[in-house]
Structure 1
Amino acid sequence: MLWHWIFAVIGVAVVVTTWLSVLRTVFTPRFRSSLVARKGLALTSLVFLTVARGFSGPRRERLLDLCAPVTLFLMAAFWLASAEAGFVILDRATGSSAPVEGLAWGSVALMLTAFTCHLVRFTDAYSRRERMVAMLDGEVAKPSDAEEVLAANLRTGSRGQLNDSFAEWAGWISDIRCTHIGYPALIYMRKTSKLSWIRAAVIALDAAALTLALAPDWAPPQTRAFLNTGIRCMRELCRELGVVPLRAVASLQGREEIGFDETVRLAQDAGLPTQAGDREAWEAFQQFRAQYAPHATWLAERLLYENHYPAFLDDEVENTVTEGPPTWRLR
């Protein structure tokens, strides 16, 4: 009868669509995960972030720790339920339960295997992200420590070693860009140390920006590559979350308490051959920093990372000197 064929087509369509979602999510996410992964994460994160705003400190973190895992298991449950519904419809259409039941069990087994593979890739990417953050966590105490990181590299190594450090950071942030867009639930995985990956990225990017601003001709080849990769990563993650950073008067997020003249002195004392004047270096540094720091600040705000940066600087930013590179402070 006609309705048997209609139900058979519907059942096959449901099963095939479900498996296409599984394959897209697990094996071919590229730079865009499946619709199920993205919409499921959007709904789950909205609930968790809304509830978490009513808490602070450890309670908030414990609650937000569950956001990504719950998203993953709800996604798996949706796949299993959807595939099961498709096979039930197919069973009603064919009237032969044995072959359909065998296919259903085989589908469940393969789907659970695929989900396990997804979890392994997910946790590996998370471990890679946090491993680099942990390495930096012992060296810095505040966002303005970029010059300390740069100085430490200059004192203990050569230009080649600094180039290797920037290359390592470029690989790290490139991995974040690929994995956090391909597996978007990773964005909501919380930090394992006091330093978040967003803040760690800004500190490392600041060190690269300072190098290019103060010594553009001397800067190692990987410096600009790291900056470009970091800028692209921050912009694409903001786009993924629907975050649109507002324009700030100056990109000082986290650097309000240190004057640029002190930054220059620290870099020179560590051995950086400064090639630009203070004003020129300041303007170059701001030009670089404005392309990633505001995006990072708004990402941290969206993800409810406490004490990441102060609020955006707007009309309350005051220039406290009249000559040379400005030293900014809050009124």
Structure 2
Amino acid sequence: MEWISGVAGALALVVVLSSILRTLVVPRGLHSALVFRLWWVLRRTLRLTAPRGGYAAIDRAQTWLAPLMLIGMLATWLCGALLGFGLLLYALSPLSWTTAFREAGSSLFTLGFASGSRLRLSALDFVAAATGPVLIALQIAYLPTLYAAYNRRELEVTLLQARAGEPAWGPEILARQWLVDTETALPELYRAWERLASDMGESHSTYPILLTFRSPRPHRSWLVGLIAVLDAAALQLALAPRHAPPEARLVLRAGFTALRDIARALRMPFDADPSPDAPIRLTFDEFDAAVAMLEAAGFRAERPSKEAWPHFQGWRVNYEAIAYELCRRCDAVPALWTGPRDFTGGAIPPARPVDRRPDRRRPELPPKEK
């Protein structure tokens, strides 16, 4: 029994140490099964609090996912360390189960108990006493990095609201620029989101817990915003290639590269080299309705819808599958062109501002996705 206890305790400590290093220390998107299992359990538990609600109820419940993840990770690691040291103390001494775990807890949380002249147990107590404060210190140092990345992300998402609506939608970005004659500002938007996409690809793959941090407003989402910008760039390249800025190609590449980096950190399967003519889930009818809306807003297409569709499809196939799966896992706001969710309710179109200019008529939105 002592051998089994010792091996089990050592394995528990190895699992906990590996999870801590992968999550908090190593600057690379390494997968921690312990953290991702906790994410799955907490997400499912919070979903139970809104079993029949639509997106509003789901969003209210999932708002608590990020803080619960931070507390849950710390509690899981401390409990795992307590279990490991308790099993090792029991294996290396004649102590009873109760006494072994009591001594492990007093050492781990630095309450002041000692093991007397028992040299082997004193050394183990010292290791346990160092583990608790170091773990808590790492968790505290982890928070500024998370919130700095969160603030950078949400600043651009907030700025996107005036250009893309809320929730964001790719065709809406182009329609609004042509409605108010600000289409020359699109290159700057693409450059900002190219940099943000690279930032998110690095930060969200290194610290996947950022995926659980929701935007301050229910209808905003970094993921939906990224999809909207990528769709806008793909639409512009497909419909008007001669007048599309080179930044459109750059933001597309940065966007789907970032999504793939995040997918690798989550161990999501994806096609790294999809065929340009591979099918996508967005239908031609949805695309054609969006093109009609753009033309009503004053956008001048160089290609008709049928001719532009294969080009748009060739761009979107690089990111659609990953984006849809991430939106489903993150319970993102169900915006247009972002795929299905695990809860009831259809896609939410962007809120339309009132256009008081007499020389422009506001184009109609395409039908809602089912």
Q: What percentage of aligned pairs have identical amino acids?
A: 24
User: Residue 79 of structure 2 aligns with which residue?
Assistant: 81
Secondary structure at the residue paired with 1:71? helix
Segments of structure 2 that go 5 or more residues without pairing to the other structure are 94-117, 271-278, 341-364
Q: Which residue among 216, 220, 224 is the counterpart of 1:192?
A: 216
Q: Which consecutive aligned stretches of 4+ in structure 1 deviate over 6 angstroms post-superposition? A: 310-313
1:220 Cα offset (Å):
3.4
TM-score normalised to the size of structure 2? Answer: 0.67
User: Residue 52 of structure 1 aligns with which residue?
Assistant: 50
User: Residue 317 of structure 1 aligns with which residue?
Assistant: none
Equivalent residues in 2 for 1:1-331, closer than 5 Å = 11-28=9-26, 30-56=28-54, 58-92=56-90, 93=92, 95-96=118-119, 97-141=121-165, 143=169, 144-148=171-175, 150-151=177-178, 155=182, 157=184, 162-193=186-217, 194-234=219-259, 240=266, 247-248=280-281, 250=283, 258-260=290-292, 262-263=294-295, 266-268=298-300, 276=303, 279-293=306-320, 295-309=322-336
State the alpha-carbon separation in 1 of the partners of residues 201 and 338 from structure 2: 25
State the alpha-carbon separation in 2 of the partners of residues 298 and 13 from structure 1: 33
* Closer/same/farther in 2, CA of residues 60 and 11 from structure 1, 3 Å limit: closer
* Closer/same/farther in 2, CA of residues 171 and 310 from structure 1, 3 Å limit: closer
1:135 Cα offset (Å):
0.7
Segments of structure 1 that go 5 or more residues without pairing to the other structure are 269-273, 314-326
Greater helix percent: which structure? 1
Does the Cα contact within 8 Å between 1:251 and 1:289 map onto a contact in 2? no
1:311 Cα offset (Å):
9.3
Secondary structure at the residue paired with 1:169? helix
Deviations 1:107-160 (A, max 9, x none): 111001111122222222222221111111133326231213554897374xxx
* Closer/same/farther in 2, CA of residues 263 and 146 from structure 1, 3 Å limit: farther
Secondary structure at the residue paired with 2:214? coil
Does the Cα contact within 8 Å between 2:178 and 2:297 map onto a contact in 1? no
Secondary structure at the residue paired with 2:298? helix
Aligned length in residues: 307
Does the Cα contact within 8 Å between 2:291 and 2:305 map onto a contact in 1? no
Q: Which moved more, 1:162-171 or 1:295-304?
A: 295-304
Does the Cα contact within 8 Å between 1:68 and 1:189 map onto a contact in 2? yes
Residue type of the alignment partner of 2:152: R
Does the Cα contact within 8 Å between 2:177 and 2:183 map onto a contact in 1? no
Residue type of the alignment partner of 2:208: P
State the alpha-carbon separation in 2 of the partners of residues 75 and 120 from structure 1: 16
1:25 Cα offset (Å):
0.8
* Closer/same/farther in 2, CA of residues 289 and 251 from structure 1, 3 Å limit: farther
Does the Cα contact within 8 Å between 2:263 and 2:269 map onto a contact in 1? yes
TM-score normalised to the size of structure 1? Answer: 0.74
* Closer/same/farther in 2, CA of residues 58 and 162 from structure 1, 3 Å limit: closer
Residue type of the alignment partner of 2:232: A
Deviations 1:261-301 (A, max 9, x none): 73486334xxxxx6556643344224323543565445434
Secondary structure at the residue paired with 1:190? coil
1:80 Cα offset (Å):
0.9
State the alpha-carbon separation in 2 of the partners of residues 221 and 26 from structure 1: 38
